[in-house]
């Protein structure tokens, strides 16, 4: 489905299971822990943005940092003081240090918000968004969660604006075409983006190439998701070297990671692939992306990219959605994308016997947050019977299976699900 779709941060299925069981019930202390983790994460991410974003005046940075420090103090309560200096240090050290005493850190333990390159970490962005979505769902279910702030409402509106714009005509084909364009073209030349099958209000969510993705006025698209990669410069033994990696950590770990020699004359740098893991064999080889082509430099001028939230929670989970559709079609199975204007993601039908599989694809960094979301909704709100995660999230399946089982659902990796469906259709997957 639209909004709910990273390495797993669960450090023990027993603990995570307990959190899934308790985190979304009506116990005030449990909701208090969830809300405290969210407030701390939100404040830390805002503070990190103030520290790392260019163009801010010193007084703006300080004002924002003080506001964020105040938010953390409010979350901690009067019995848990925290000096401003310790707040600053925790941003690049361990986010769990900011939590009130007695609140279980879960995914926050060992997580820094500012990395060694002075940029906001990808996982911090994801956890902020995913916790917000869980609280948003609890609020809709009338679980006693307080109203979100102005920023949260604005970011929810971004997601809902896109969905409403694509679905307002009530035409399945129009919705599918627009959604697929957001997945296949998360960045590009302004002239090309203008030709996409998107309403003008959705095209507005394509913005200038992010500042952290350019070098000397050039940028490079990830070979997997096609969004601008993150570019950083580091000095080692007195020599300046550049690194280009996809902002989505699993893509970088799969091979979307390069080195380059920085330029100073406005020319484009040439990317050189870093050592990559071996391509998987067996069933996982079918969906594994082709990384042979090295990304070409593109000028930042007259190019745009989707805002981060829509890229992360529409484009990223959409990649396995389209890949499953395409590969299962090749093997003779019928697949419908986003039936009934996105009730769920895939309807897979076996020709002949008509057996169907209703599938929802999720790509969450936090397995415990996703499991809590399923628990809060008592399954999938659109009626999906399968919860499918990308193959690189295989470590999440045991926990997700545990909570899905309570609501008559099954959890699986994309390749394992596809192989099972093909076996029932009497065809080979790999």
Write out pLDDT tens, residues 341-360.
999 999 999 998 889 999 99
* Residue 222 CA to its chain's centroid (Å): 15
Residue with token string 């999906």: 384
Q: In this structure, are 329 and 399 located in the same domain?
A: yes
Quickly list DSSP for 115-177: -TTSSB-HHHHHHHHHHHHHHHHHHHTTSSPPPP-HHHHHHHHHHHHHHHHHHTT--HHHHHH
Q: Can you give the pLDDT at residue 228?
A: 98
Q: In this structure, are 317 and 408 located in the same domain?
A: yes
Range of the domain at 126: 25-142
Residues in Cβ contact with 353 at an 8 Å cutoff, skipping those fewer than 6 apart:
none
**pLDDT category of residue 140 using cuts at 50, 70 and 90:** confident
Quickly list DSSP for 14-78: HHHHHHHHHTTSS-HHHHHHHHHHHHHHHHHHHHHHHHH-TT--HHHHHHHHHHHHHHHHHHH-T
153-167, 229-243, 406-420: the lowest-pLDDT one: 153-167
pLDDT at 277 over 60: yes
196, part of any domain: no
Average predicted confidence (pLDDT) for the chain:
87
Q: In this structure, are 236 and 318 located in the same domain?
A: no
Tally Cβ neighbours within 10 Å of residue 209: 20
The residue among 242, 267, 294 that closes a domain is 294
pLDDT at 21 over 50: no
Q: In this structure, are 405 and 346 located in the same domain?
A: yes
> What total number of domains does the chain contain?
3
199-203, 267-271, 292-296, 386-390: the lowest-pLDDT one: 199-203
229, part of any domain: yes
CA distance 203 to 210: 16
Q: Can you give the pLDDT at residue 19?
A: 41
Q: Can you give the pLDDT at residue 152?
A: 56
């Amino acid at each position: 489905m639209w909004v709910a779709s990273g390495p797993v941060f669960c450090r023990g299925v027993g603990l995570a299971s307990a959190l899934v069981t308790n985190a979304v019930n009506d116990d005030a202390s449990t909701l208090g822990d969830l809300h405290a983790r969210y407030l701390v994460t939100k404040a830390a991410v805002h503070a990190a943005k103030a520290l790392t974003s260019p163009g801010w005046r010193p007084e703006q940075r300080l004002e924002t940092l003080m506001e964020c420090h105040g938010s953390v103090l409010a979350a901690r309560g009067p019995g848990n003081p925290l000096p401003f200096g310790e707040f600053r240090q925790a941003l690049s050290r361990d986010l769990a240090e900011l939590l009130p005493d007695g609140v279980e850190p879960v995914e926050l333990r060992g997580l820094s918000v500012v990395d060694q390159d002075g940029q906001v970490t990808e996982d911090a962005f994801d956890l902020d968004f995913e916790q917000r979505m869980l609280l948003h769902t609890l609020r809709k279910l009338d679980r006693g969660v307080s109203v979100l702030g102005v920023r949260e409402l604005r970011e929810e509106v971004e997601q809902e604006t896109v969905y409403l714009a694509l679905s307002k005509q009530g035409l399945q084909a129009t919705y599918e075409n627009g959604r697929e364009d957001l997945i296949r073209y998360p960045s590009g030349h302004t002239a090309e983006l203008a030709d996409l099958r998107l309403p003008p209000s959705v095209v507005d969510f394509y913005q200038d190439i992010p500042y952290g993705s350019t070098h000397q006025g050039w940028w490079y698209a990830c070979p997997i998701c096609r969004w601008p990669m993150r570019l950083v410069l580091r000095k080692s033994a007195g020599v300046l070297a550049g690194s280009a990696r996809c902002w989505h950590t699993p893509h970088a770990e799969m091979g979307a990671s390069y080195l380059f020699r920085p330029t100073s004359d406005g020319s484009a740098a040439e990317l050189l692939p870093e050592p990559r893991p071996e391509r998987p064999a067996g069933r996982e080889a079918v969906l594994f992306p082709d990384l042979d082509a090295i990304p070409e430099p593109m000028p930042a001028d007259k190019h745009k990219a989707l805002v981060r939230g829509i890229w992360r929670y529409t484009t990223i989970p959409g990649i396995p959605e389209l890949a499953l559709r395409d590969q299962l079609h090749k093997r003779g199975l019928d697949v419908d994308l986003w039936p009934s204007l996105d009730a769920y993601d895939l309807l897979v039908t076996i020709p002949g016997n008509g057996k169907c599989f209703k599938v929802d694809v999720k790509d969450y960094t936090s397995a415990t947050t996703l499991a809590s979301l399923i628990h809060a909704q008592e399954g999938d709100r659109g009626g999906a019977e399968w919860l499918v995660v990308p193959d690189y999230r295989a470590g999440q399946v045991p926990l997700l299976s545990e909570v899905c089982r309570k609501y008559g659902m099954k959890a699986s990796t994309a390749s394992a699900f596809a192989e099972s469906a093909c076996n029932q259709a009497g065809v080979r997957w790999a």
